[in-house]
Chain A
Amino acid sequence: MSVVVWISTKEGAATKAGLEAASFAVALASGSPVTAVVAGELVGDGGLGAVGVGQVLHRAEGLQDSGQWARCVQAAMQQVGASVAVGGHDALGKAVAPRLAVRLGAGLVSGVTALPTGGVVRRNVFSGKAVADVQVRTEQVVYTLTPNAFGVQNGGGGAANVVPFAPEVGAAREVVTGFQAAGSAGQVPLPEAERVVSAGRGLRGPEHWGIVEELAEALHATTACSRPVADIGWRPHHEHVGQTGVTIRPNLYIAAGISGAIQHLAGVNQSKVIVVINTDPEAPFFKAADYGIVGDAFEVLPKLTAAAKALGM
């Protein structure tokens, strides 16, 4: 079963979400060819051969329009005779997948967390409080893959064969006029981050965030915050993790001075390991945590930073 995967890129290389989607496509194809679709700047094969992609259809001109992207992926599927398309459940995938599914008349399962087994594919629902096994009733299928669920797999392949691709995609209606980077340079974007250090009102003011940033730096983690902290302007909104902010799924989530309201948990409860640091031993967050420290973040965080640095990470 030939599979097409569309890839989000940054500075000519596939993003982590893109490499995960490609890894998922390779596993799904189980030996059949996998074709990646890339638009815009591409350096070499963008890192896609290493995860097992055989061919990259490369449109030299970048695409910003969800409709053009959907046409481009559809054209790639027609060219290689694929009935399955995969993308990351990232900004690009969320915009392209629904259009593509409608164009194909394909069943769409968004935010899958594992390969299909026994005719169903798994995704998280109810903000991580349940999982659903979804059955697809159509021959053609579109999947988007939740970041950090499948991982980047070593496909053992050499370089992918990069082939110029210029299908008819119609006119662009969504025109990008500017880009604003979120977070400090070098930090992994929150939805893709494998480690996250987060803090809440317990930090008592934005001037105290240095100890959070230092621990994040020592652990190569991305910083985040609770909703109240973003709402009162101590931290930018893009750092807010929780029900109405960003949903994350890191391997490690460290929360300092966050009590663990149910809305916050909804955004972080899919983390593999949760560490909670709070002065209040009754904080509800401890019930959802794997490791806990009852203590003052102002004392605990610098010591954690020192211990992490001592490991020479």
Chain B
Amino acid sequence: MKILVCISQSPDTTSRIAFTDGDTRFDANGVTYIVNPYDEWYALVRALELKEALGGEVTTVTVGPAASEQVIRKALAIGADDAVRIDAEPTDALQVARWIADYARGKGFDLVLAGKETIDHNGGMVPGMVAELLDMPYVASAAALEVTGGQATVRREAVGGTESLTVALPLVVSAAKGMAEQRIPNMRGIMAARTKPLETVAPAATEPATSVAKFTLPPAKGACRMVPADQPEELIRLLREEAKII
């Protein structure tokens, strides 16, 4: 099994969200970056479990500047065998997908895994674009993934529930909760990660199809209106007459 896991860095969940350059760029000043949780907890860990069960190797691919090597080393510490960084700062998902597909094409990956979305852009579109670019089947928001003899059994989000599928390899899967459990890297993994191969690849020229014209912070929430605990019926009245939502 040759598995490629797409790893993105994202600001830590507790980061202060602010913008710079005329509100066109995220202000990374003082921000701690983490491996995007969906990529790490679900996609990467499931890839490692499949490798442990079936043999093979797990490569991670990241589109980002040199500063993203910190989260790439984290992925290596958790257990990936080697890593590739495509040295670029993307403007949109299509660029990211093209660069990942350019790298993956012809390398014989049986499985391309990614998280279902990143917690910063929340787009969730890169894995499906990679699938189309590589002409592979695509299973989005999968909560379970098993592989036996060239065939994957997957459970994915569907309207009103989940559905089970069988799909021949190679395929692209985006991972959601349930696919695996978070793994904490141990000291041996952290030491080993320092010397694992991390290749840097130059990106091909490609134009973005979309760009962010402006980021805005939502207006601050007004004060919470407290209702006495012994008058819950007052809350129901407020929801009907004031908020007008029931």
Q: Please give the residue numbers on chain A whose beta carbons come within 8 Å of chain B beta carbons, in ascending order.
A: 8, 10, 15, 17, 64-67, 70, 90-92, 94-99, 101-103, 105-111, 119-120, 123-138, 173-183, 189, 195, 219, 237-238, 240, 243-245, 247, 251-252, 262-263, 266, 272-273, 275-276, 286-296, 299-300, 303-304, 306-308, 310-311, 313
Contacts and interface: CB of A to CB of B under 8 A. Distances in A.
Given A90-B159, A244-B177, A276-B224, A262 B13 contact: yes
Given A66-B138, A273-B243, A291-B238, A91 B156 contact: yes
B232 A111 contact: no
Interface of B: 11, 13-14, 17, 19, 37-38, 41, 92-94, 97, 116, 119-129, 131-133, 137-141, 143, 155-168, 171, 177-178, 207-218, 221-222, 224-230, 232-233, 235-240, 243, 245-246
A86 to B, nearest CB: 15
Contacts of B157: 91, 94
A307 B137 contact: no
Given A102-B132, A177-B165, A292-B225, A134 B232 contact: no
B125 to A, nearest CB: 4
A91 B140 contact: yes
B94 A108 contact: yes
Contacts of A124: 122
Nearest to B139: A174
Contacts of A276: 224
Contacts of B227: 291-293
Contacts of A295: 229-230, 232
A126 B17 contact: yes
Given A125-B215, A240-B177, A290-B243, A138 B164 contact: no
B14 A262 contact: yes
A122 B78 CA distance: 37
A291 B226 CA distance: 6
17 contacts: A101-B129, A106-B209, A108-B125, A108-B129, A110-B125, A177-B165, A183-B161, A237-B178, A238-B162, A263-B13, A276-B224, A291-B225, A291-B239, A303-B232, A307-B232, A307-B236, A310-B233
A91 to B, nearest CB: 4
